[in-house]
Amino acid sequence: MRLRATASALISALRPGDPEFAAALARRWAELPETARTKGQVLGRHAVGCEGTHGVFPRCNLACTPCYHSRDANQVRVDGPHTVAQVKAQLALFRRLRGPRAHAQLIGGEVSLLDPDDHAAALQAMRRHGREPMSFTHGDIDYDYLRRLVLGPDGRPRLRRVSFAAHFDMLMFGRRGIPGPENEASLNPYREQFARLFARLRREHGVRCFLAHNMTVTPANLAQVAGVVADCAAMGYGMFSFQPAAFVGDERRWHEPYRDVTGDQVWAQIERGVGARLDYRLFEHGDVRCNRVAYGFWAGDTWYPVLDGADPRDLAVRDGFLRYFGPVNFTGTPPGLLAVRLSLIAARHPRVLVLAAGWAARVVRRVGLRRLLTRRVRPVSYVMHQFMDAVDVAPAWQLMQRGETSPDPRIRATQERLAACHYAMAHPEDGTLVPACVQHCLLDPQENRDLRVLLPLPTVRPRRLLSDQIASYLI
């Protein structure tokens, strides 16, 4: 029996594609509206989408304008057991409804307010449900916290790899050393310092790290986006993500005409900073009105796209990748096992080798062999996520719940975007998944009011943090 079980496990591990994951992809594709079923669509063909937690630790110790949290978020106590229990319940629902693998964000308020042991327990629970977790932080944390997070009581690594998304922008107040940034450039030393923490973590403890950089964009800092992209390209971040502000969350912090900033304007700034055209139609993640993504790499001081969307041969490579490697899980799979799976696919579909060889030859010609061999090559992707205004999400979602399509073009467009949402949140209490915009626009306010009762702050409150004092002035 043991031999049979071992053989069965080996066969399952070496299977190029997971049938359960393939079934989850098929369901996801069937759920997409026609507007999102494009040749470059990744949802339903290589991913089911990204997942995020909610109601687990809404409190933050920095103040931001704007902030997508409701006004009660900072009145909820950070409680480790509550966080871990909610993460387990929410991820179990994701596992049941969206299959065995996905990227998931441990997100709420400020993740480093969690005790390191509780933080680690939450990440471990996410991995047990087949998720690749990413912790969200404002980046104002210490090396000692990260060390306590990744090392167990025995002093050995309990987390062999971690992913963090750090949010830096001049709209945040209360950061140590620079409580009120005058511009984006003044934050660059703090961006670099954060990245260095993880380089040290890998150097001293062998923990692999992936870092993403997040930034909110408003009329106040739109013109500085290109500078951030250019200045921070070599700091160690594997992704730069920009979010145009929307009228979501605490309306007391809406101090600018956010609709004056368009996705096209933000994307143009990113392109200016990169110094290259970024083709966001090559690979699409949901609706391009919500998400734009460009994958590529820096070779020295020049950024190159992984594929050239203007070259039909590269489009054939994209189509071949989605066709042959769509059900393969690249992230989180041990390199040796991944190599075996890819080899089995190539053996079954020799055309893969022809496509790969042609692509590699074109990359060498475009970049230059000398540059590839002598310059540092760093994969870096650029992303823009555009949340929607609550005034549009509310009627759109209500109609969708009744199975109705709005005759209003603006609301109908909102419905299409919600139906193609790349970013979902789970509600174990009723077994449903909702788009993040629905969560933040419609559900967060009451959820945080309920959490204030469940997890009240201490009656005798400690001396207010500087960030709390600043927040009182902002609102």
Do 418 and 436 fall within a single domain?
A: yes
Asked if pLDDT for residue 9 goes beyond 80, the answer is no
For residues 294 and 236, state if they share a domain: yes
Question: Does residue 199 carry a pLDDT above 50?
Answer: yes
Which pLDDT score, from 0 to 100, does residue 4 have? 56
Per-residue pLDDT for 459 more than 80?
no
Q: Which residue has the higher pLDDT, 255 or 17?
A: 255
Q: What is the per-residue pLDDT for 473?
A: 47
Distance CA 221, CA 216 (A): 9
What is the per-residue pLDDT across 112-126, written as a single tens digit (0 to 9) for each?
999 999 999 999 999
Segment 398-433, tens digit of pLDDT = 999 999 999 999 999 999 999 999 999 999 999 999
* Domain end call among 355, 375, 395: 375
> Quick one: 270 and 339 in the same domain?
no
Looking at the structure, do residues 371 and 388 belong to the same domain, yes or no?
Answer: no
The model scores a pTM over 0.75: yes
Burial readout 88-115 (b: 16 or more C-beta within 10 A, e: otherwise) = bebbebbbeebbebbbbbbbbbbbbbbb
Among 343, 375, 407, where does a domain finish? 375
Q: What is the pLDDT of residue 329?
A: 82
The pLDDT confidence band at residue 392, using thresholds 50, 70 and 90, is very high
Q: What is the mean pLDDT of residues 312-325?
A: 97
Average pLDDT over every residue of 17-29: 91
Calculate mean pLDDT across residues 311-338.
Answer: 90
Residues near 290 by Cβ (< 8 Å), separated by ≥ 6? 385, 386, 387, 388, 417, 420, 421, 422
Query: Residues 28-76: pLDDT tens digits?
Result: 999 999 999 999 999 999 999 999 999 999 999 999 999 888 889 999 9
**Rounded mean pLDDT of 174-182?**
96
**Rounded average pLDDT over 116-137:** 98
What percentage of the chain has pLDDT greater than the value 90? 87
Statement to judge: residues 462 and 396 lie in one domain? yes
| Claim to verify: residue 325 and residue 261 sit in the same structural domain | no
What's the pLDDT at 471? Answer: 53
What pLDDT score does 334 carry?
A: 82
Last residue of a domain, which of 375, 398, 423? 375
Instruction: Report pLDDT for 148.
Output: 98
CB 36 within 8 A of CB 418: no
State the pLDDT at residue 333: 77
What span, in angstroms and rounded, lies between the C-alpha atoms of 87 and 194? 26
Give the model's confidence band at 458: pLDDT under 50 very low, under 70 low, under 90 confident, else very high. Answer: confident
If one counts the domains in the chain, the total is 2
Same domain, 192 and 333: no
> What's the pLDDT score for residue 463?
54
Q: Is 384 within the bounds of a domain?
A: yes
Specify the 3-state DSSP secondary structure of 335: helix
Domain of residue 123: give its range.
17-300+377-474
Query: According to the model, what pLDDT value does residue 68 have?
Result: 87
Q: Do 286 and 417 have their domain in common? A: yes
**CA nearest to 191, candidates 227, 144, 147:** 227
